Structures are given as C-alpha cells and as structure tokens.
Structure 1
Amino acid sequence: PGGGTGREHFLFNVAFFFLCSRLMALKRMGIVKDYEKIRTFTVAVVGVGGVGSVTAEMLTRCGIGKLLLFDYDKVELANMNRLFFQPHQAGLSKVQAAEHTLRDINPDVQFEVHNYNITTLDNFEHFMDRISNGGLEEGKPVDLVLSCVDNFEARMAINTACNELGQIWMESGVSENAVSGHIQLIIPGESACFACAPPLVVAANIDEKTLKREGVCAASLPTTMGVVVPILIQYLLNFGTVSYYLGYNAMQDFFPTMSMKPNPQCSDHNCRKQQENYKKKEAERPKEEVIEKEEEIVHEDNDWGIELVSEISEEELKAASGPVPELPEGISVAYTIPDKEENLITGETVTESEESLEELMAKMRNM
C-alpha cells in the first residue's frame, strides 16, 4: 500500500514495528490501559498549516484509525520550514500534499481529504455532514474535531457546527510572533464555547481582514508548533487530566491554565440549548450518598503510661503558675515558675534515706 518498491515496504514494516513496540510500552507501564483503542478513533483536523500539519503527522505516527483533513490553501515555499511539506509539493493543495506524506508514514491509517473553505454556505453543510457521518464506520460521527486554523471566521464556523451537533472539539492557535500559543477543550453545554467569551475582533464585528498589515507575514517556528501540538492531541491518548484551557509563552516560560463556564447569554442559540441539555443530564444523574464512617481509635501498647487529657482550664493554669513579677509597660513573661511548696500534694511526704547512690541504683536495677 502507498506505492514504492519492495525494499521501501520492508523498511516501512521494520520502522512501523519499532514504532508500535515503543507505543505499546505505554500500556505495559500502566500509563495507558488500552492503547490499541486508538485504532478505532476518527479525528477531523481543520487547517493543515503550521499546527495542523504537525498534528496530522503525530496522530498518524500514533496509529489513529482515520483522519479527515480540511483546508483550501496551497503549499508554498514558505512552508518548507517544516519537515512535513517538501519542495516538490509546492503548488499542490495542502490536503493533497498531506495525504501523500502521511500515507508514506503509515498506510494503515484511513484518510479523507477535502480541499475547500468551510465558511461558505455549501461547504459548511458538507463539513457538518462529514463530522456527523465521517467516522471510521461510515454513518457514525467523528470522535474529536481539532481546530488548527489561523482566522476567527473559521473558528466561529467550527464552533457553530460543533454546538449544533453537540460535538466535542479542541481549539488551538499560535501567536503572530510565533513564541506563544494555546489550546482549549470545548464540550458543548459543559464548558464555554468560542462564542461565550469571544475575542474583541469577533465581539465588535470587526472585519479581521482589515487587521492584516501589508507586506507583513505571521512568523512560524517549528519549535512552538512542537510544544503546542503534543498537548493538543494528549486528550485523545487519554494521558491524565486534560485542561480546559492551557496557554504557552516561550518568552516567559509560562503555562497559564484555567477553565470557563458557559455563558447563559451566549450569542449562539445552540450553545444555550446545549447548556439546558447538560443541566437536565446532571439533574437526572443519580447522586451517590457519601456515608462518613467514624474511624476507630486503635492504641498500641502503652508501655510508658502516656495519656491524653483535656486541656487545662484557666483556673488550673493560674493555680499551677507562680507569681508574676512587676515589669515595665510593654514587657510580659512567657511563663512563671510555680511555687514548690504550694504545689506539694497533701498526704505525700519525702523521707530522707541514708543509703548511698550506688545502693539506690542497685535497687532500681532489681525492680
């Protein structure tokens, strides 16, 4: 599969064997319970640029079951700062070039590519259909949508589609100066969607095309992509806890994290609808009664006769304290020495003995 000579197939099989053995080690170490399950997952990657190309490559190397790729740009020589695209692919659509590269990496993965703009009306309807029916088994929805686009219009389109379908998705991005980025997990109804707290350019209905500076191209660093993308796909691999929002700032070595609740007045009516559905599910979920058990106090052998008693009252404390000397203003004593004569217990007397110290020590040893 994927073309090539017999020698190339042999080299691929050897490389893929070592790849699988490395990944299966995660299961043997107890980090992932069922790594093979990744073969049943379908992921839609929207945008095959700086973040999207690295995302698609990592998922392919991890052995994902099926990948759906959406983009309408073409490969340019400026994209050669990544190992993913190659000079001879210049002029091809990014999704077409990506499919060629990814099939050579792992031909066992199923690929479905779409070279169109998802924000147009006709393409948006088809985009929603593929999210709903483009799973590994045709007719079933994808497991996750990953937004790797570089404009707010496309992000809002993905947000609208996922809110209507109730589809879990993750938004990601890298700053224009390429030294910071972020990921955001969005569960419709449970967490804030992209329209719940939109950026100013969206909230103010500003045409983002007017923000483009002539002759200025956004920077792109493979190192930043290599930091943001692995965090993005950890959700699918189910490693530990996934943050609802995680940022990355390379200049300050800073990883801010937070979570946002959905906005009840969100401008997207499907988001508000998903919020109501989530509230109903939470109300119907049986609540587990937590019965607190009093722990039995178990004492070990008390050879020394040590006992815990209640706190000493103020009266007892005063009785056990000695007289307070007169001190200048602003000075106080930490404690006082009790009067020995006052604290002698009535009825007990101390008799003098003419026995020597050695005789008394001998008696104590025989006790």
Structure 2
Amino acid sequence: MSPRPRRLSPSQAALSLALALSLSLPATAAAAPVSGKGSVLTLEGDDAAKAAALTKALQTEFAARGVGGGRDMSLSELKMTMGCDEPPSPKCLADGGRTLGVDNMVYGTLSKSGGGFVVQLNLLDVAGANVKEAVTAEYPASALEAGQVQATAKDLVGRVLGAEKAAAPSGPVAEPEQTEPEPQPDRSKLVWGRYKEQPTWKKAGLAASASVAVLAFGASLGLFMAWRKPNGPVFKKMLQLAQDSYTQNDNPDDNVRYGEGEDICANARAPLGNGVTNAAVANQCTRGEQMAKATTGLLVVGGIALASTIAFTTLMFVHRETPTMAKLRKRGFNFGAAPTFSGVMFGGGINF
C-alpha cells in the first residue's frame, strides 16, 4: 500500500510557496544603498546552536558591508520587550529599533527543511518602518557547519545587499616597472673600480710604465727647454758664439748673422772653400740637433710608456674594456711629439 500524502499546515504551505518563489527567481543583483548604524538580531529557529552560529557569521559579514555597530539582541527578546504580535509587524519592530538607536535592523528565522535548512532574512528600515529587502534561501545541513557557515553568511548578505562592488585602489597607482634596455652586443659598459685582488705582474707593470712615462716626458721637456728656449743654456751659448764672431776674430768670413729672422745654424754652415763659415757656432748647432733628436726619442718612449700605463690601468681598474681600446693595445698604438728648428713635430705608430 502506498503511503498517504501528508497534508501541509497553512504556515508550512506559505513557507513552501515562498521557498519555491525564491528558487525560481534570480537573486537580486543590486539593492538600495544602506547607510547608518545597524543591528543583526539573533535568528529564531529550530536549532538554537546553528541559529546562533549563523547569526554571529551574519553580524561579521553585515558589519563588513556597513550594517553594524548596534546593540546585540535576539528577535525573541525584542518581540517580548516591545509586546509585538505574532508575526511581528514592521512598525512594532521599528519601534524596537529606535529604542536600540539603530537605522537598520536585520532579523529572520532558521527552519529545518528535509535534510537541510531554510533561512529567511529581512532588512528593516527603522526610520520608514518598512522592510527594504526580504530573502529566503535553502541550504544543505553542511552549509551551516563550522567550516562553511561564514561562506553561507556571505552568500546571504550578498542576496540582501546585492553584489559587492570591487573596491577602488587606494593611494597612488603603481607605475609599470621600467625594464632597462639590454646592452647592444657591440658595446661594452665600463665600470671603474678595483673588484678583485690583482696579480703582482700587473702592479709591477703599471708602476714601471708610469715611471718610464714620467721620466721620459720630464727629460724631453728639459732638453726642449735647454735647446729651443732663448734663455736655455745651449741656445744662449750658440747666440753668444754668433755675437763673438764679430769681435774675436779678424776674418769677416767667420761672422755669423744672428739678427731677427736669421737662421743662425744655416748662416754658420754656409760653405766657404772646403770648410764652414764658423765651426764653433756650427758645432753648437750640431749639439742642439742631437739634443732635439734625443728629445724626439724620449717623447716616443714616453708615448709608448703612457700607452702601457693606460693598458695596465684598464686591466686593473676597469671591469670590461671597450673593443676600441683592446684593438689599439693589440696593434701597439703609440703617440709622441718632438721639437724641431721651426716648431713641434708630432708622430706615432700602429701595427697592421
């Protein structure tokens, strides 16, 4: 024999109808904005422990959405305090909300339904004494367990207040990270500084090349000053010999012109028979020419030593050398300068 169908009481029928409507209609996507202090009353229900746990979770979630800060009280206590009829009217509950000093009030019930529960929530506008939102939702029993009750409360709050809007980022917007351009393969970035202990041969090479460069350039400068400067001893003696050629001999052919614009050495070497016009002046000129050649040699040596000093400095203090410097050093590049009778001569060399 098949079991007789069970008749529903009027209250159960109304509850079933409300549940069917809530399941058939989509959840409210957005609700009227809620502002001001609010209270979430402890739910009435068939399971007091689960009703208390869900209420606590709801209070947390509603407070996160701006509905909180009011006094905690159960729906049963408020109805008893205000003497509300059953079911309580929004006006009677609103009077209780004014007593609590809140602007909004959330109340409802938790009822067993088969193997799960039905939650019915109302959002009451205390000032207007009207229910702004009413939500009925059914959940399995597991949704009210300790690990799931907070998510269930968050879902219910979303149904009552609408979908939560994404918070706008606060503070200055972070600039996109700037990436440094990768170095070109044909370029090298030089970094100056000692980055590791250098071997002894590098230190010795740097000291020797620097010393040779200083001595060579110093000696060449001294020779240049002695020969080309009017106050230099070699030049002064040459000029004095040219002047003496007019007063210390009786042969006018030995006289050497030395005035402004005159080339003393050329005048002293002017051919006369099988000899020269003035041997003393010519010998002094030869001495000066030898000093000029020595100056040129010293400048060349100084240039090579300077290039070596630059090379050793690069090896010791620069992390990476440029391709240009490497090529110049590999080719034996050198540079120098030397005085001449008419000015200064520059020279250098490179291997191909």
TM-score tier by shorter-chain length is under 0.3
Q: Judging by fraction of residues, say which structure has more helix.
A: 2
Please give the TM-score of this superposition, normalised by the length of structure 2.
0.24
Q: Judging by fraction of residues, say which structure has more strand.
A: 2
* Rg larger in structure: 2
